[in-house]
Amino acid sequence: DMRAQLPAGVEPLAPGTLWTAQRRGVAAPPVVRTVLPVLVLCYNRADYLRQTLDRLFATRREPQYHPVYVSQDGVDARVADTVRSYGDRIAGHFQRTERALPRKLDKGPGPQYYHIAAHYRFALSHVLGDSDDDDGGARDRHAAVIVLEEDLEVADDFFEYFQATYPLLQRDATLMAVSAWNDNGKREFVRDADRLYRTHVFPGLGWLLTRALWRELRPKWPAAFWDDWLREDEQRRARDTVRPEISRTHTFGAKGASKGQFYKQHLAPNVLADTFVRFTELDLDYLLVHNYDALMRRVLAAATPVATVQELMQRAGVDRQTFVVRTRTEEQFARQAKAVRLMDDNKWGVPRTGYNGVVLCWWRTTNVLALTLELQPGDAVRRARAARGHRHGD
């Protein structure tokens, strides 16, 4: 009974509601703008790159805070010409020209994923440094960087979103990164442009990391599949990623290294925010770990248990309710998620967008659905250890 777990005097959220972002108080210090460069990684899709850069520059209202770097994997002439066509709007153009792989991988499955991982290491080292000393190997050594690939369109408030959330990385040691992407961001699951969440599963697809996190990751950077590697417990270390309810990026990359995997089913249907939210004027303290945990308890305390999502779909005229469907195994979770078109896979026992085993989304606009999977043992212990002793803000 989640109600019994609420502290005295704390009430559940009203059924069919989630938390609402509040404006910062008059006495609150303003958010200090920070230089957060954008690093765009590309390979051989010149047309995609131009589409990404055009949109990026169209939404960049404060260029002094957001220099744009492009890292090119290889020497494709059309890509290089595309980068040069933007003149001094590009703060730096890096090219990884040494693309040889170990012999045993040359004919192995998915060599492109080894190139991608190597390119990420190359590109991030240029912007955040390739050693632990003060100078590093960076052209312009920044405190943090926003990472994009050449097939992503950004929302109007893309830069505003990252300016507002960057301070959270400095304040909360249980946060690892900020992502612009909601893995379950299909239109039927989202509603409010100003609501943000925490998730145990790193989403990627437009994300912010600090130089300190890069120092931690760089010495053990993987040979391939860097994003799944980052989701592993050993790297995540019980830290979360902030993500929006409505994505601030949208991928148009139907053709790429993954051969369109998941694209039609889960990526293309994700909607891009079309409302400019002034996030720097909102109080985002609800995302700090203890505040957020309390909010989640209040949401679940208002929930009506339902055996399956199929039972939920049979209910007619339901309005303003919060429902919870509890699953005990990964297989049960996958069946229930697939029935409503949520992403049904998980990463090391944690479902996509999951937080403490809970996936939250909107259901028929005015209802909240919580689909739960029991959290893996030991995660709470690792979280507590991280909160006590691990700082990664820089």
Q: Is 88 assigned a catalytic role?
A: no
- Which of these, 151, 95, 144, lies nearest to 123 by C-alpha position? 95
Collapsing DSSP to helix, strand or coil, 91 comes out as: strand
Q: Are 217 and 187 in contact (CB under 8 A)?
A: no
Scanning the structure block, which residue is given the tokens 């040889």?
A: 100
- C-alpha 203: how far from its chain's center? 4
First to last CA, the chain: 40
Residues pairing with 90 in the sheet:
68
Query: In this structure, which amino acid lies at residue 89?
Result: R
E strand residue ranges, the chain: 22-23, 38-42, 68-73, 90-96, 144-149, 152-154, 175-179, 196-199, 207-210, 240-244, 249-251, 282-283, 304-305, 322-327, 346-347, 350-351, 358-363, 367-373
Q: Which of 76, 140, 194, 227 is catalytic?
A: 227
Q: Are 284 and 164 in contact (CB under 8 A)?
A: yes
Q: What angle do CA 56, 79, 99 make, to 5 degrees?
A: 115
Residues pairing with 199 in the sheet:
241
Q: Are 76 and 46 in contact (CB under 8 A)?
A: yes
Contacts of 69 (CB under 8 A, 6+ apart): 37, 38, 39, 40, 90, 91, 92, 93, 94, 123, 126, 127
Q: Are 334 and 351 in contact (CB under 8 A)?
A: no
User: Which H or E element spans position 120?
Assistant: helix 111-128
How far apart, in whole angstroms, are the C-alpha atoms of residue 28 and residue 32?
Answer: 12
Active-site amino acid positions: 227
